[in-house]
Amino acid sequence: MRAPRIRIRRRERYGFVPGTPPGTVIISPVAHKPVMHVMAYNEKEFTESPITDIEEIRRYLSHWAVTWVNVDGLGDAQTIQRLGDMFGLHRLALEDVVEIQHRPKVDTYGDHLFFVTRMIEEGFPVRTEQFSIFVGKRFVLTFQERPGGCLDPVRKRIRESLGRIRNSGADYLAYSLIDAVVDAYYPFLDSFAERVEAIEEEVLSQPTPVTVSAIHKAKRDLMIVRRVISPTRETINSVLRDGGQPITEATRIYLRDCYDHTVHVLEMVELYREILAGLLDVYLSSVSNRMNEIMKVLTIIATIFIPLSFIAGVYGMNFDTGASPFNMPELRWKFGYLAFLLLVAGVAAFELSYFWRKGWLGERKHKTEDEANDNDQK
Cis peptide before 125 (omega within 30 of 0): yes
Shortest distance, position 33 Cβ to a second copy, whole Å: 26
Residue 361, φ and ψ in degrees, nearest 5: -95, 145
Pairwise CA distance, residues 262 & 189, whole Å? 12
Nearer to a second copy, 47 or 299 (CB): 299
Quote helix, strand, coil % in the chain, to nearest 5.
Answer: 55, 15, 30
Pairwise CA distance, residues 342 & 354, whole Å? 18
Nearer to a second copy, 62 or 375 (CB): 375
Which positions ≥6 away from 58 have C-beta within 8 Å? 86
State how far the alpha carbon of 114 is from the alpha carbons of 68, 118, 171, 247, in Å: 14, 14, 12, 12
Nearer to a second copy, 75 or 307 (CB): 307
Shortest distance, position 312 Cβ to a second copy, whole Å: 3
Shortest distance, position 48 Cβ to a second copy, whole Å: 18
Shortest distance, position 191 Cβ to a second copy, whole Å: 9
Q: Which residue, 202, 262, 219, is CA-closest to 238?
A: 262
Neighbours of 173 (CB within 10 A): 26
Shortest distance, position 244 Cβ to a second copy, whole Å: 15
Nearer to a second copy, 143 or 192 (CB): 192
Shortest distance, position 336 Cβ to a second copy, whole Å: 5
Pairwise CA distance, residues 128 & 121, whole Å? 6
Nearer to a second copy, 55 or 363 (CB): 363
Nearer to a second copy, 59 or 367 (CB): 367
Between strands 105-109 and 112-121, the pairing is antiparallel
Element (H, E) at 67: strand 66-72
Shortest distance, position 37 Cβ to a second copy, whole Å: 18
Hey, what amino acid is at 176? S
Nearer to a second copy, 137 or 216 (CB): 216
